[in-house]
Amino acid sequence: MATLCKKCCSYIFSLGLTALSLWLLLYQKTPTCSIEQFDVFALKETTTTNNNNSNNVHYDLKLKNRIINKGIYYDTLNVTFYEKNNFIGNAIFSPFYQGYHKGTHRVGDIEARGVQWENVTAAMMVFRVELATAVRYKHLLWKSKRHHLVVGADLKVNDQGSLVKGKGNKGITLISKAGNNNNKSRFELLGMLDILVFIHFL
C-alpha cells in the first residue's frame, strides 16, 4: 500500500512538472498598449508657449511586456490617429526588442490636419488611435512566428485639451477582440494538453 501511495505521489509530481513546463513553453500574452497622454493644444485655454493656435497633438504611447519569461520583438509600429472618422495624422516607429516584463514609451507630436477647431462647440471631443504591428516571442533557444497585433481605442479629450483618463488616473488601453479570442483558444489548448498528460500517466 505504501509503495502504491509513493507511486501515486511520484505520478502527481511528474504531472505537475510536465504541466508547468508546457505552460511555460506555450504561454504567451500580447503586450499591453495604452495612451498615457494626449494633449490637444488647440483646445487649451492657457499656455506659456503660445500653442493656443497650434494644431499639434502630443501623445505618449506605452507598450508593456506582461510575460515574465519571454522577450518580445516588435516589427515596425504604425500608429494612426483620427478625429471622428477623419484621418488627422500618423507615426511610424522602428522595430525594437523588449525584455522580460519591461515597459517602454513612444512619444511624439502630430499636426492634426483637417480639423475645424473654430467649429468645436462640445465640451468633449472624441479622437481615435489605432496601432498595427507584428510581434515575435523570444523563447530560450528560438523565436516564435510572427503574430499580428492590431489594436485601437477611442480617446476622450475635455475642453482643456487633456485626455480623460480611467479610474486611478490610468491611461486608455488599446484593445482588440481578435486578440482576446486568440488568448481564449490558447488557454483551451493548454487545458487539453494537461488532460492528455494526465491520461498518459493513468
pLDDT in tens, 87-133: 999 999 999 999 988 999 999 999 987 887 777 777 889 999 999 99
Assign 3-state DSSP to the chain and report helix, strand, coil percentages, each to 5: 30, 40, 30
Domain boundaries of the chain, sorted by first residue: 31-176
* 31, 135 Cβ separation under 8 angstroms: yes
The string of DSSP codes covering 72-111 is EEE--EEEEEEETTEEEEEEEE--EEE-TT-EEEEEEEEE
pLDDT value, residue 11: 55
**Residue 2 — pLDDT band, cuts 50, 70, 90?**
low
State the pTM of this model: 0.73
What pLDDT was estimated at residue 112?
Answer: 87
In contact, 58 and 39? CB cutoff 8 Å: yes
CATH superfamily to which 31-176 belongs: Immunoglobulins (2.60.40.10)
**What value does the mean pLDDT take over residues 50-54?**
54
Spatial separation of the C-alpha atoms in residues 114 and 55, rounded to whole Å? 9
Check whether 80 has a pLDDT greater than 90. Answer: yes
